[in-house]
Amino acid sequence: MAKVRTKDLIEKFDLELVSGEEGINRPIMTSDLSRPGLEMAGFFEYYPAERVQLLGKTELTFFSQLSTSEKRERMDRLCTDITPAIIVSRELEIPEELIEASNRESVPVMKSNLKTTRLSSRLTNYLESMLAPSTAMHGVLVDVYGVGVLITGKSGVGKSETALELIKRGHRLVADDCVEIKQEDENTLVGSAPELIEHLLEIRGLGIINVMTLFGAGAVRSYKRITIVMNLELWDPNKQYDRLGLDEEKIKIIDTELPRLTIPVRPGRNLAVIIEVAAMNFRLKRMGLNAAEQFTNRLSDVIEDSDHDHS
């Protein structure tokens, strides 16, 4: 499934389609762009044909000085069966040779009124975000004190109910049940809700509630960077749970590792408060105050002192 096609660029950047319109469904597979200056000079050894090609003033001024046969030959080689688009910036005049070659090979040629560098950076940003690796996860994403907390766990463990309690306490819902996750760069995962279920929370017994209409616009966010995963599981009396918070579990989503806490669920435990404290604690750790370590150090000091007293 191609995530981006040439026609998406035409819509997104308000480009004017000049020729080669049979190719507007071509897929764009890379966010790298090409400014084929060397190609205009006849050097096609390393021509990255699969990229979007940008022609600016520099390339076209040079091109205008070539002989007629050279002009034809260069544009023929520029238009290949995998070139997704050729964009001419600054509303420059489009060479006749390019129009002919593009119609023959069905390579869409578009015009933009932006300067080449401006167009280049905006295109790159757009393509990088569209082509970023993505996945979907079952869970609830909430912004708690500015920390993106992804709540996971089996169906029926109480993820949505916990989210509802957090929203009532002033935190913000990003997505319930299904979280779409994009990896924006090496260590950044951003989660959002599928359009269909944005702002909605499903609570067993109540049905579907619209968080935005019930709690106002401040109770929702459309996307949030995921920082920590809280996994809710039903209390298992035979399992050892981490009491000091020293062993950090990790979970890998796409290529990024995130810290994961496992929180045992049983009646009478207020999970929302536990998650709030975990989020605050995480912020403290990020600021370099590791409460668990400090506590352990203090504890061992106390133990050593009492040992001395007894000896």
Please give the structure tokens belonging to residue 260. Answer: 């994961």
Among 115, 118, 138, 169, the active-site one is 138
Which one of 185, 239, 243, 247 is the catalytic residue? 243
* 288 in a labelled binding site: no
Handedness of CA 124, 127, 131, 132 (dihedral sign): positive
139 known member of a binding site: no
Q: Is 7 a catalytic residue?
A: no
**Residue carrying structure tokens 């951003």:** 190
What count of other Cβ atoms lies within 10 Å of the Cβ of residue 6? Answer: 26
| 154 marked as binding residue | yes
> Where do the H-state alpha helices sit in the chain?
6-12, 37-40, 57-63, 68-78, 96-105, 116-131, 159-168, 211-215, 271-286, 291-310
Q: Is 144 annotated as a binding residue?
A: no
Examine the residue annotation and report whether 177 is marked as an active-site residue of this protein.
yes
Please identify which residue in the block is written with the tokens 């989660």. Answer: 191
The catalytically annotated residue of 5, 122, 177, 225 is 177
Neighbour count for residue 51 (Cβ, 10 Å)? 21
Nearest to 247 by CA among 259, 229, 231: 259
Residue 155 among known ligand-binding residues: yes
Cβ–Cβ under 8 Å, residues 175 and 214: no
Nearest C-alpha neighbor of 231 from the set 258, 207, 209: 258
3-state secondary structure of 120: helix
The conformation of residue 237, written as its DSSP 8-state character, comes to T
Tell whether 71 is in a known binding site: no
- Counting other chains too, the contacts that 243-247 makes at CB distance below 8 Å and 24 or more residues apart are 244/292, 244/295, 244/296, 245/281, 245/291, 245/292, 246/292, 246/293, 246/296
205 appears as a binding residue in the annotation = no
Is 138 known to be catalytic?
A: yes
The active-site residue, picked from 26, 51, 159, 182, is: 159
Other CB atoms closer than 10 Å to residue 127's CB: what's the count?
Answer: 23
Query: Per the annotation, does 157 bind a ligand?
Result: yes
Residues taking part in catalysis: 138, 159, 177, 243
> What residue numbers does the annotated binding site for ATP cover?
153-160
> What residue numbers does the annotated binding site cover?
153-160, 202
> What residue numbers does the annotated binding site for Mg(2+) cover?
160, 202
